[in-house]
Amino acid sequence: MPTTDLVASLAKKSGLVWVSYGGRTHAVWHEWVGDAVCVVSGGTEQSLPAIADQETVTLLLRSKTTRALVARVEARVEVVAPASEHWDPTTTALKAGRLNLSDGDTAVQRWADESVVVRLVPSGPPDVPATIDPSLRATRPRLSGTSSSRGVPEPARYATRRTGRQS
């Protein structure tokens, strides 16, 4: 499977990708558009500090169901300017995929004014589990709720309240 096909397949199946650069890894929502993972950052959106200053980043793609690391690939960072050929298709897809968007009519203009939109274009063959460092395969910290040591969610603990009334 060609690089873009594998990365596209994995990115389309999950609402999150992990973007690693500058010694930090960030979980971000994204949309796959054309041949790239597309992300909006800054302003009131998710934070990817100095993403526009990066030449390359590493994309970590995890299974939606198990959260296991499935592939890792280097990606070229392309800033999408409002007047560029990629602006309309990229922001249209991001707007459609953005959950809980409170300003649907003005979001794209807000992104142009206060955010940066980037395309993260895979630039080489992905590493797959056999070639990935085992220490990177586990997700830390856990992404949801409290779990027991076996990874099974703990049952909710409800305190009962006594009113002190006597019948």
pLDDT one-digit tens code per residue, 59-114: 999 877 777 888 899 999 999 999 999 999 999 999 998 888 888 889 999 999 99
Q: Which of 134, 127, 136 is nearest to 6 (CA)?
A: 127
Domains, the chain: 3-137 (2.30.110.10)
Within 24-165, strands assigned E span: 24-29, 31-33, 36-41, 56-62, 69-80, 116-122
pLDDT at 2: 56
Strand order in the sheet with 56-62: 24-29, 16-21, 56-62, 69-80, 116-122, 36-41, 31-33
pLDDT one-digit tens code per residue, 89-98: 999 999 998 8
Residue 117 has pLDDT above 60, yes or no: yes
Cβ–Cβ < 8 Å for 41, 83: no
What average pLDDT does this structure show over 142-146? Answer: 43
Instruction: Return d(Cα 106, Cα 109) in angstroms, integer.
Output: 5
Question: How big, in percent rounded to 5, are the helix, strand and coil portions of the chain?
Answer: 25, 30, 45
pLDDT at 132: 52
Q: Which of 139, 14, 125, 2 is nearest to 72 (CA)?
A: 125
First to last CA, the chain: 73
Classified as helix, coil or strand, 1 is coil
Q: Which of 60, 70, 62, 73 is nearest to 129 (CA)?
A: 70
